[in-house]
């Protein structure tokens, strides 16, 4: 049987949400330290308007790759894994994002076999996975129900996993 893993894109392969905050700061001339600060300071309409601009821009095409990301995917590829990159990026509302994302993966020499939306993974429509790698506790708990095993690189939360099949590791 083929070995298959899925890896969340944002904050595993790149530095989201820091890159999103960088975009807001660059475009507005403000100096938010984090996403929560930006959400609090901008009106809900303003925040969503900036998020829309971010998604339509080419900013994501030039995001820096997380230093350990290439090591992770090359290690998995070397061990014979079929690699599925999973993202919450709203491809259905921003069709150009799929192309921008695929080009970003290629530009950064990230080997992968499939790029899918996280909703497809959560729905169980996709094939069997040996494990999933994510940075969000809520998503890791949901995905562990479908995939049965998840590695959580948690850079933002001290919450504990709800699923016993989640292995929590402080990400870098």
Is 136 a residue whose pLDDT tops 80? yes
Tally the residues of the chain.
172
Q: Computed from CA positions of residues 156, 20, 85, 65, in that sequence, does the dihedral angle turn out positive or negative? A: negative
Q: Which residue has the higher pLDDT, 123 or 107?
A: 107
On whether both 53 and 135 belong to a single domain, the answer is no
On whether both 43 and 9 belong to a single domain, the answer is no
On whether both 101 and 113 belong to a single domain, the answer is yes
On whether both 102 and 45 belong to a single domain, the answer is no
Among all chains, which residue has been given the structure tokens 């504990």?
160
**Closest of 155, 92, 96 to residue 118, by C-alpha:** 92
On whether both 91 and 133 belong to a single domain, the answer is yes
Residue 149: how many CA atoms within 13 Å on its side-chain side? 6
On whether both 82 and 32 belong to a single domain, the answer is no
On whether both 100 and 159 belong to a single domain, the answer is yes
Check residue 153 and give its pLDDT.
80
Q: Coil, strand or helix: which one is 37?
A: helix
Distance from C-alpha of 67 to C-alpha of 70, rounded to nearest angstrom: 7
What average pLDDT does this structure show over 30-42?
A: 94
pTM more than 0.95: no
CATH number at residue 9: 3.40.50.1000
On whether both 73 and 119 belong to a single domain, the answer is yes
Q: Give how many domains the chain has, as a whole number.
A: 2
Question: Could you tell me the residue range of the domain that residue 150 belongs to?
Answer: 4-15+65-169
């Amino acid at each position: 049987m083929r070995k298959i893993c899925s890896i969340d894109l944002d904050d595993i392969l790149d530095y989201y949400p820091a890159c999103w905050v960088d975009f807001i700061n660059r475009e507005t001339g403000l100096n938010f330290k984090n996403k929560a600060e930006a959400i609090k300071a901008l009106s809900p309409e303003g925040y969503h308007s900036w998020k829309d601009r971010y998604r339509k821009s080419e900013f994501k095409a030039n995001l820096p790759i997380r230093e350990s990301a290439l090591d992770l995917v090359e290690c998995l590829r070397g061990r014979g894994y079929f690699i599925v990159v999973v993202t919450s990026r709203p491809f259905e509302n921003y069709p150009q994002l799929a192309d921008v994302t695929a080009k970003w993966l290629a530009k950064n020499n990230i080997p992968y076999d499939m790029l899918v939306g996280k909703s497809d993974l959560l729905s169980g429509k996709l094939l069997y996975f040996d494990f999933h790698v994510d940075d969000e506790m809520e998503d890791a708990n949901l995905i562990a129900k479908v995939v049965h095993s998840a590695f959580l690189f948690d850079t933002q939360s001290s919450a504990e996993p709800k699923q016993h099949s989640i292995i929590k590791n402080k990400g870098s």
